[in-house]
Amino acid sequence: MFDSIVIGTGPGGYVCAVKLAQLGKKVLVIEKGELGGTCTNVGCIPTKALLSGTELYWNLKERGARLGVVGNVSIDLNALKSHTSKTVMMSRKGIEYLFKKNGVELKRGTAYFLEPWKVEIEETGEVFEAKSIVLANGSFPRLFPPFSEVDGVWTSDDVFSMEAIPSSILIVGGGAIGIEFATLFSILGSKVTLVELLEHILPLEDQDVASEVKKALQKRGVTVYESSKVSHLTKTSSGIFSWRLETPSGEITGESEKVLVSVGRAPRIGEDFKEVGLEIDRGVKVDSRMRTNLPDVYAVGDVTGGIMLAHVAMMQGVVAAYNIAGMGKEMDYMAVPSVIFSVPEVASVGLKEKDLKSEGYKVFKYPFSANGRARTMEEREGFVKVIADKDGIVKGFSVVGPLATELIMEGVLAVKFGLKADELSLTIHPHPTLSEAVLGAFEGVADKPIHL
């Protein structure tokens, strides 16, 4: 008898298992695939490994001469893929090490509910019982007509097995995943067409943020269609995709070597979940303590159908572990950062301008073009934006520009703990750094920025 069985080793599952072990629990983890789930194997980690290489190439190509670095550079796809594979393997080994270090037992195979607290591994017939169960089964890419009816359409899972850089690619979906792959393939030299159904790409971000990314994509030759959809898709005898788009300016036809669909993911819900009586909504339904409707059965990460971000899954895993250990904790989604590894990068937290329903908010944008460190880096695109309420409390924070995904944490802390812009404007930021653009935005909300 185990204290807990955790099903799945994605960010939510492995973090939960390690935290449970640290809290003194006897833990069994069951994993049918590679350790690390989507994030480690076909998501965050390999995508960022590819983007790190391509961004370095782009910077050398576009800024090298201006910074005194001369000479021709090129992309070696095999070397880039080798770096990606090595990074993925190191991440898997890291999780395996954490399990061994903390005494977490690992079993390989497909877990299937026999009863709410009794699980069988289908491949071996082994049966295990536990006082509590944590479901971290993850998700899979959504694919629907006409894309599901045409052979060879890529999802985000398929990109990492590419053997050559496609000469052209149609990317369907302008959210975070689609934008990152549009960035990747445009730098690699593919002719990229990006289609977004909603009013603008990055629909969860403000229009001004999305516009900065759109301009950068178009500068690299990406054709962007917004408020548009793919109405027809076929594959020719030569293997080329032929497609038709419905756009605000009328129908447009085209061809591409590859089609990538990046319109989100769906929770992985097994029939055994329903058979044991788990309540299913968009995913496995949970409360703020990550509890399902069955006593001592918890769910974390993508399988819940909520915010499908690795860092959210990790915190849900921690919260579930604490509650299993009798230390009451609740999930707080007020300050969840969103990060997008485009060029330029995007990060945001809290309220957006489009969310503001009343008067009294102050919004200020500080451009990176006015930041000394950004100028030394030949970075002139983007800005830091702060939204504060009538009392000066920071309610929203967005960054589009260099290292936005790192700069976001000052905004996360401000939103999380209700900090005031005028107080933050009196904190000393090191010079010369990109963080001074954050200071300038706080100054702009509190009074007037000194350097603008």
Active site residues: 431
CB neighbours of 19 closer than 8 A, spacing ≥ 6?
317, 318, 321, 322
Nearest in space to 395 (alpha carbons), one of 426, 364, 424, 361: 361
Cα gap 304→319, rounded to integer Å: 14
Pairing of strands 139-141, 265-267: antiparallel
Cα gap 226→201, rounded to integer Å: 7
Q: Is there a contact between 38 and 302 (Cβ–Cβ < 8 Å)?
A: yes
Q: Which is it for the CA torsion 163, 167, 172, 177, positive or negative? A: positive
Nearest in space to 353 (alpha carbons), one of 308, 374, 383: 383
What distances in angstroms separate CA 449 from CA 133, 348, 371, 446, one per listed residue? 53, 21, 12, 9
**CA atoms in the 13 A half-sphere facing the CB of 110:** 6
**CA atoms in the 13 A half-sphere facing the CB of 166:** 27
Report the SS3 class of residue 137: coil
First to last CA, the chain: 65
Q: Which tokens go with 34? A: 């590679």
Pairing of strands 168-172, 191-195: parallel
Q: Which residues pair with 140 in a beta bridge?
A: 266
What distances in angstroms separate CA 73 from CA 55, 64, 220, 326, one per listed residue? 12, 10, 17, 57
Other C-beta atoms closer than 10 Å to the C-beta of 162 total 15
Backbone phi, psi, residue 196, to 5°: -125, 130
What distances in angstroms separate CA 222 from CA 131, 172, 190, 326, one per listed residue? 53, 13, 9, 52
